[in-house]
Amino acid sequence: VLKTLWSKHRNFKVVVLGTSGSPYEFIDAKGYVKHKEIYNYTSKSHYGILSFKPSTFNPMHETNKCYIYAVSGAIPIITSDMFDTIDKIDGYSIMIDAQEFNNDLMRKYEELLSMECDEVNKLRYNVFNYARSNLYWEIQEKTLIDAVKTA
């Protein structure tokens, strides 16, 4: 999907942390990055991509990346079958329909690339404020501890 978008738009860059090298000029693979340095990258990002191709694993999968993105002001892009994540970030993320994954992913990415900067920054500000008010340890503690106990 990203390769097709690049051929049409050429006005974005994807920064990937944790892996090196990329065959595509629009992907900037940074390799290993210390955890405390992750925020240097996410705070400069408009979006955080978590739109995984649907699988039976997705409903049980909750990644802290969504919260790292939100606290940094990057709008999370998540798949509609990531139920636990949706419960906490619904209304402050971009949802990709798991049933129409490829088509919806392309459509949403094209919409996002066509948005004006002011509009994107307003959404980022709203996500950032929501995260700072709702996605911190004291509120999420019980859920996180229960998840570790069940794992």
Grouped pLDDT means (10 residues each) for the chain, 151 residues: 83 88 90 92 91 59 78 90 76 90 91 93 96 81 78 65
pTM value is 0.80
- What tens digit of pLDDT does each residue of 75-89 get? 999 888 876 777 778
Print burial letters for 123-149: b (CB count within 10 Å at least 16), e (below 16): bbeebbebbeeebeeeeeeeeeeeeee
Residue 80: what pLDDT? 83
Residue 4: what pLDDT? 86
**CA–CA distance, 57 with 49 (Å, rounded to integer):** 17
Residue 40: what pLDDT? 94
